[in-house]
Homo-oligomer: A and B are copies of this chain.
C-alpha cells in the first residue's frame, strides 16, 4: 500500500470541496483516513483538513493525487514541476500536463508561479524569463519547455460562492419555465458594472440575432458602449448587411415577416457587393452599408472577429478563413474582457468557452435548450444558460441597462429623452 498525506484549506465544506475529494478518492479505488479536521466554527471561518490517501500501487496513488490537485488539494511534500523540451514542432511531449480553465500555479525553484493566458485544453510553456503560460498544441515549437506530469502543479478552483454573488439563481438547471426578467436584470447589472470598471465586453452572436429582428437593440448596445468585441461567423455579418441593404434576413423581411421575392438571392448579392467594395469598412465608407450591427461596429470602433466556417457563402472579405488564425485572433481580442454575452450560436459559444478562463462570467442565451446542454457538457461551467427568445431578450436587456444609466446620471437621461 502506498500513502500520501494531503491538505485542504478554505471553505472546503461550504463549497463542497471535501465531499468531492472523498468521492474522487473512492471512485479511483483509493481509501482515505481523515487525520484532522478543523471546521470553521462560523460562516466566515476557513476550514482545514489533513487526509491520508492510500492506494495499492504508486501509479494509482499518483493518479489520485493528480485528480485531487484539481480541487486544490496540496500534497505535503511538494516538488518542483517537471519541464521537458518539445522534441518536434506542433506537438507536446507525451506526458504533458493538460490545462483546465481554472487558475493554475506551477512550482518552480520552490515558488508557486501563476500561469498566464489561462485556457483549457492547452499545455503549459515556460518562457525564457522563467514565467509560465498556456500554449495551444499547434503553437508548440521544437525546444519549447513544456510542463509534464501533475507534480508541482496546483489548481485553485473558482469557488461556487464567488459566482453566486453574481447570479443567485446559478444553481438552476436549464429550464424554459423560469422567470427570465430577473436574470436579464442581473445580466444588465453585470454588464453595467463591467463597463464602469473599465473592462471590455464581448458579444458572441449568431445570425438569429438578425433573423429575429434584434438589430436595433444590438446597435443600441454598441452605441452605449456595451460591446467592445463582436465575435461571430460570416453569417451574422452577411445577414446584418443583407438586412441593411435589402431589409431582409435569409430572404425574409425582418419588419413584416414575409418572404421577399427572389429573397434567397439577397444574401449572396450583399456578399458580392461588399467583396466588390473590398471590406466591410469600405462598404460603410461608400454608403453601401448605412445601418445595422456591422455599420455600428465600424462607426464605434468595435473590434470584430469573424471566423469562417465550412457552410459559408462568399465569404465576406473580413472573414478569417483559416481557423488557426481565427482562434489566435479571438484569443487576442479577449484581453481585458470582463464579461461575455453569447447569443444564438452554439458554434461560437463553444469556441469562446474554449479560450475563456473560468473567472470571466458569461451568459449564454438560446431558445433551444440543447445548445446550453452541449455547452455545459464541454466544461464551460461558469456560463449561465438562459432559454429564451433572442429579440425580447435584447429588448429587455437594453431597457434594463438604460434604466441603470438613467439612475447613474438623471440629467443626461432626461436630455436624451
Interchain CB contact under 8 A, A182 and B348: no
Q: Which of A71-79, A248-256, A409-417 lies on the face that meets chain B? A: A248-256
Contacts of A311 in B (CB 8 A): 347-348, 350-351, 354
Given contacts A94-B276, A272-B92, A392-B389, contact A183 B250 (CB under 8 A): no
Q: Which A residues from 341 to 382 make CB contacts under 8 A with B?
A: 347-348, 350-351, 354, 367-370, 373-374, 376-379
- Copies of the chain in the assembly: 4
Q: How far is the CA of A23 from the CA of B208 in the complex (A)?
A: 28
Interchain CB contact under 8 A, B369 and A262: no
In which size bucket is the chain A interface?
Answer: 35 or more
Given contacts A313-B354, A322-B321, A326-B310, contact A211 B178 (CB under 8 A): yes
Contacts of A290 in B (CB 8 A): none
Contacts of A257 in B (CB 8 A): 168-169, 172, 178-183
Q: Which A residues from 221 to 264 make CB contacts under 8 A with B?
A: 233, 249-250, 252-259, 261-262, 264
Interchain CB contact under 8 A, A373 and B173: yes
Given contacts A40-B34, A178-B257, A272-B137, contact A14 B24 (CB under 8 A): no
Interchain CB contact under 8 A, B391 and A212: no
Contacts of A92 in B (CB 8 A): 272
Is A273's CB within 8 Å of the partner chain B? yes
Centre residue among A33, A175, A269, A273 by max chain B CB count within 10 A: A175
Given contacts A98-B265, A272-B92, contact A175 B255 (CB under 8 A): no
Give chain B nearest CB distance to A17 CB in angstroms.
9
Give chain B nearest CB distance to A322 CB in angstroms.
5
Interface residues of A (CB under 8 A from B): 13-16, 18-19, 22-24, 26-28, 31-34, 37, 39-43, 63, 66-67, 88, 90-92, 94, 96, 98, 100, 121, 136-138, 168-169, 172-183, 207-208, 211-213, 233, 249-250, 252-259, 261-262, 264-265, 267-269, 271-273, 275-276, 307-315, 317, 321-324, 326-327, 330, 347-348, 350-351, 354, 367-370, 373-374, 376-379, 387-389, 391-393, 395-396
CB-based closest 6 A-B pairs: A392-B392, A182-B257, A179-B213, A308-B323, A311-B351, A307-B310
